[in-house]
Amino acid sequence: MGISRKKLGLALGGGGARGMAHVGVIRVLEREGIPIDCIAGTSVGSLVGAAYAAGLRGQPLLDMALNFRWRAIVRLVWPGRGFVSFDKLESFLVRTIGDLTFAGLGMPYAAVTADLATGEQVVLQEGRVAPAVRASCSVPGIVTPVEVGGRLLIDGGVVNNLPISVVRGLGAEVVVAVGLGSPPGTYPRGPLQMGIAALDFLLRRAGDDPSTADVHLPIPVWGLGSFLSTARRRQFVALGEQTTEEALPAIRAALD
């Protein structure tokens, strides 16, 4: 008779280029032999989550992070509902994992989006994966929204940037939530830094309460550059690894 264990789910938050830290988190869990049973992701968290749920492990998952470039996923468009399109992101994901449906993934997975008309959270769990990820990453006002099931959908970060409740709905008994940001503890200088700090605070409060996770991993990144700079992707992976290594006792305690 086998020994039952608690199901572990990851709630992966949004945050642009910072999202490469999610790969570092997953790498440590893999190395430590801690199974991941389900994933919910918002924005870039939906991208990394989809890749893992599709079977990308180890070096291939790291390669996806280290090869990430904006030019590979962004296409300029005539200003209408946005200045750029993420249709290339959709193609990138299809090339990376295949044109999979949610039913074809190796584990329960959900991508969090928002309805542009109502602001309602829309959790995608069926149909094709690539358009769902594209919708979850489509920052309103900058990236064109995506039509899915007759609704115009945008980046889920505006309604739930840390989808803890969503991954619990997938069956997780223990939730490890990865938030892409941690307050610097110092006052910002100048109007631009103040504005970016305010955006960071809003994103932190747009998600489920971190205290509702069994383990919360706030990745210590801050500032506009950390949203945009893909040149720092190795640093972000390393920060994800370091933060997870420090939290291993808490993760094991939650699983026990």
Tens digits of residue pLDDT in 189-225 = 777 767 777 777 777 777 889 999 999 999 988 765 5
Tens digits of residue pLDDT in 27-74 = 999 999 999 999 999 999 999 999 999 999 989 999 988 888 888 888
The continuous run of DSSP H or E covering 10 comes out as strand 8-12
What is the mean pLDDT of the segment spanning 155-176?
A: 96
- What pLDDT, on a 0 to 100 scale, did the predictor assign at position 222? 73
Rounded to an integer, what distance in angstroms lies between the CA atom of residue 101 and that of residue 177?
25
Written as six digits, the tokens of 130 are 């690539």
Tens digits of residue pLDDT in 72-98 = 888 888 877 889 999 999 999 999 999
Task: Judge whether 21 and 180 are in contact, CB under 8 Å.
Answer: yes
- What pLDDT, on a 0 to 100 scale, did the predictor assign at position 143? 92
Ranges assigned E (strand) in 79-198: 84-85, 109-115, 121-124, 146-148, 151-155, 174-179
Residue with tokens 């769902």: 132
What is the mean pLDDT of the segment spanning 121-128?
A: 97
What positions carry a catalytic annotation? Answer: 43, 155
